[in-house]
């Protein structure tokens, strides 16, 4: 591009552009936050002026900024400041550890007030089971206690919480939820599936303050930048929207945020005329989020074949067909894009039925409705998804991070039809991938590692017919992810005219042994051509 002097020039690198031809370049030049040149180092050198910053890559690999296509990261940043972390990473490897952490929180909490924990994972506990309400009583009997699991769709409460809510063995299961019960006595044992949590804690969890929300969001989004993420696509409610906007308005939003608003806020959005597209390149609303079923990590997704570790159990639906149809039809008629949490094949089929009817009633060009997770599939479902133009975004890190506990629940044969990147790509479906954090860790290189290798954390193979090539896995976190959020003209590849979001890696992701992808260091992350993370700086 003759006649310009670049603001930044990256020279002597291996630039994985992710353009349609999957071109490899040596250099990139940036002007006004956009990519002005991609090509040879010699060509880029011609754009160097007196004020140009020059970065010699020394042969390092550059990839487009990575995009997590679905998570709850902004919310997680806030709640981790006020909730008790019960994850393995926090040192909880037994029920005794869990009780100790809850007891410590109770000791600093006035009697009668709630103690709330999250990120409990039975597969990471020595007992290989969830705690019961009586186990939670062992932490405190002076506080109502409720904890949620890593999947977020299953919770456990203590006896005081049930007593305060008036829930007993005679209380019927709510619509879209279920209480765990003793099979002989019918007594509630503590477990709360889906909407059952509302019967025990109808006011919902403790909400972070506005300052906690914004400071927590800033901290976790800065961590995302250090891992190579330049954009996250979050599911949000009012407090998370406010946190993102507070940071953006102060000029300190670390990375880009795209938002699906919980369908609970549909009426408020419609009353003010807000729908897809409101925002800018830093923060934008993309659609509505609707829940159909349970979680894969909690092994409660709604499936047609029973869980192998729970004979007769087919998962939990979080809604009914009538409720889902009424809500989605009303929103779709008003122009909203639908992103649906549908994990199991039973839930996916219901969602597809409803969207087929919605598109027939209210036809729309290029609607880009999404199936978030879309985990347990069949060849027939893949064809329907393709025909309806649904865009699945699948779990990235799950085969690695959660795979060991999924094997007993689903078995080897069914896992060949789960997290089905290969099946969707072969069918020509433009899938993306995501972490669903906090349900799994959010490092995108862990996810790419999982998609390429399909081995669990313990090294077991899991559904290896669904393996993809490294460049295909990158596509799920770059160009395809950008397409799912209507950003294909701005993000996802290193091409002239696009926003200059790039990641400098410490090793070449295209040639490193596949089993070492997870260990590739992120040296630098750039957004709009500005360095937002540099591993050499504290």
What is residue 153's predicted lDDT score, i.e. its pLDDT? 78
What is residue 289's predicted lDDT score, i.e. its pLDDT? 96
180 with 280, same domain?
no
DSSP label at 12? Answer: S
What is residue 69's predicted lDDT score, i.e. its pLDDT? 98
C-beta atoms surrounding 538 within 10 Å: 4
Antiparallel, parallel or unpaired: β 522-527 and 502-505: antiparallel
Q: Is 149 domain-assigned?
A: yes
DSSP label at 495? Answer: -
- The CATH number for 50's domain is 2.30.40.10
188 with 248, same domain?
no
Burial 323-339 (b: 16+ CB within 10 A, else e): ebbebbeebbeeebbbb
Mean pLDDT value of segment 100-117: 94
Q: Are 228 and 521 in contact (CB under 8 A)?
A: no
On average, the pLDDT of the chain sits at 95
- Angle between helices 345-361 and 321-333 in degrees, nearest 10: 40
Under 8 Å CB-to-CB from 3, ≥6 apart: which residues? none
| Total of domains in the chain | 3
Q: Domain end: 200, 218, 243, which one?
A: 200
Residue 1 confidence (pLDDT) above 50: no
Q: Domain end: 142, 176, 200, which one?
A: 200
Q: Is 538 domain-assigned?
A: no
**What token pair was written down for 313?**
């159990």
Residue (of 57, 26, 22, 66) closest to 449 by Cα position: 66
| Max mean pLDDT range (56-60, 82-86, 118-122) | 56-60
* φ, ψ at 496 (rounded to 5°): -55, 135
Residue 259 confidence (pLDDT) above 70: yes
- The CATH number for 169's domain is 3.10.310.70
Residue 121 confidence (pLDDT) above 80: yes
Q: Is 536 domain-assigned?
A: no
pLDDT tens-digit readout, 419-456: 999 999 999 999 999 999 988 999 999 999 999 999 99
Residue 224 confidence (pLDDT) above 50: yes
Q: Is 78 domain-assigned?
A: no
217 with 152, same domain?
no
234 with 175, same domain?
no
Q: Domain end: 200, 224, 243, which one?
A: 200
Percent of all residues in the chain with a pLDDT value above 90, rounded to a whole number = 88
pLDDT tens-digit readout, 459-504: 999 999 999 999 999 999 999 999 999 999 999 999 999 999 999 9
Residue (of 48, 18, 15, 16) closest to 31 by Cα position: 48
356 with 501, same domain?
yes
372 with 517, same domain?
yes
Q: How confident is the model at residue 123 (pLDDT cuts 50, 70, 90)?
A: confident
Q: Are 153 and 300 in contact (CB under 8 A)?
A: yes
Q: Is 385 domain-assigned?
A: yes
110 with 196, same domain?
yes
Mean pLDDT value of segment 68-81: 90
353 with 473, same domain?
yes
Q: Is 3 domain-assigned?
A: no
Q: Is 37 domain-assigned?
A: yes
Q: Are 102 and 117 in contact (CB under 8 A)?
A: yes
- The CATH number for 491's domain is 3.20.20.140
Domain residue limits at 131 = 83-200
CA dist 384 and 511 (Å) reads 36
222 with 191, same domain?
no
Residue (of 457, 456, 370, 369) closest to 418 by Cα position: 456
Q: Is 187 domain-assigned?
A: yes
Mean pLDDT value of segment 231-236: 97
182 with 213, same domain?
no
Can you give the pTM of this predicted structure?
A: 0.87
376 with 340, same domain?
yes
159 with 31, same domain?
no
What is residue 56's predicted lDDT score, i.e. its pLDDT? 97
H-helix segments, 46-201: 73-79, 95-107, 133-137, 159-165, 197-200
CA dist 349 and 382 (Å) reads 11
What is residue 2's predicted lDDT score, i.e. its pLDDT? 52
pLDDT tens-digit readout, 314-366: 999 999 999 999 999 999 999 999 999 999 999 999 999 999 999 999 999 99
């Amino acid at each position: 591009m003759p006649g310009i002097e670049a603001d930044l020039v990256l020279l002597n690198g291996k630039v994985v552009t992710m353009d349609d031809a999957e071109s490899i370049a040596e250099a990139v030049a940036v002007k006004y936050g956009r990519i002005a040149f991609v090509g040879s180092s010699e060509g880029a050198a011609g754009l160097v002026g007196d004020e140009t910053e020059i970065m010699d890559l020394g042969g390092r690999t550059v990839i487009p900024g990575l995009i997590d296509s679905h998570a709850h990261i902004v919310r997680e940043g806030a709640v981790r400041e006020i909730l008790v972390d019960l994850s393995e990473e926090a040192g909880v490897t037994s029920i005794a550890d869990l009780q100790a952490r809850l007891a410590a929180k109770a000791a600093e909490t006035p009697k009668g007030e709630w103690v709330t924990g999250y990120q409990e994972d039975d597969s990471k506990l020595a007992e290989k089971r969830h705690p019961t309400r009586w186990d939670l009583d062992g932490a405190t009997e002076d506080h109502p206690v409720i904890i949620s699991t890593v999947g977020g769709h299953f919770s456990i409460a203590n006896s005081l919480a049930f007593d305060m809510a008036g829930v007993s063995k005679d209380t019927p299961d709510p619509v879209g939820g279920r209480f765990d019960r003793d099979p002989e006595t019918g007594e509630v044992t503590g477990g709360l599936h889906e909407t059952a949590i509302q019967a025990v804690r109808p006011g919902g969890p403790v909400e972070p303050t506005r300052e906690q929300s914004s400071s927590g969001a800033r901290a976790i989004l800065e961590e995302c930048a250090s891992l190579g993420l330049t954009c996250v696509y979050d599911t949000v409610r009012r407090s998370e929207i406010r946190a993102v906007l507070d940071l953006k308005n102060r000029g300190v939003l670390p990375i880009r945020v795209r938002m699906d608003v919980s369908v609970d806020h549909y009426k408020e959005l419609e009353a003010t005329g807000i729908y897809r597209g409101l925002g800018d390149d830093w923060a934008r609303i993309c659609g509505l989020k609707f829940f159909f079923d349970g979680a894969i990590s909690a092994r409660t997704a709604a499936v047609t074949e029973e869980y192998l570790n729970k004979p007769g159990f087919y998962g939990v639906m979080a809604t009914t067909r009538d409720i889902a149809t009424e809500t989605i039809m009303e929103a779709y008629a008003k122009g909203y894009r639908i992103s649906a949490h549908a994990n199991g094949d039973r839930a996916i089929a219901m969602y597809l039925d409803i969207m087929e009817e919605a598109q027939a009633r209210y036809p729309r060009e290029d609607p880009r409705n999404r199936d978030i997770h879309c985990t347990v599939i069949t060849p027939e479902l893949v064809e329907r998804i393709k025909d309806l133009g649904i865009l699945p975004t699948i779990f990235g890190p799950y085969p690695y991070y959660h795979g060991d506990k999924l094997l007993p629940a689903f078995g080897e044969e069914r896992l060949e039809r789960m997290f089905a990147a290969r099946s969707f790509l072969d069918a020509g479906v433009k899938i993306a991938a995501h972490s669903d954090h906090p349900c799994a860790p959010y490092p995108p290189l862990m996810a790419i590692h999982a998609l390429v290798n399909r081995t669990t954390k313990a090294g077991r193979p899991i559904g290896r017919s669904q393996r993809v090539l490294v460049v295909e896995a990158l596509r799920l976190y770059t160009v395809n992810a950008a397409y799912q959020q209507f950003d294909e003209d701005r993000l996802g590849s290193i091409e002239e005219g696009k926003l200059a979001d790039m990641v400098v890696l410490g090793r070449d992701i295209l040639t490193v042994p596949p089993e070492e992808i997870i260990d590739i260091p992120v040296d630098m992350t750039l957004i709009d051509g500005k360095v937002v993370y540099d591993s050499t700086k504290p």
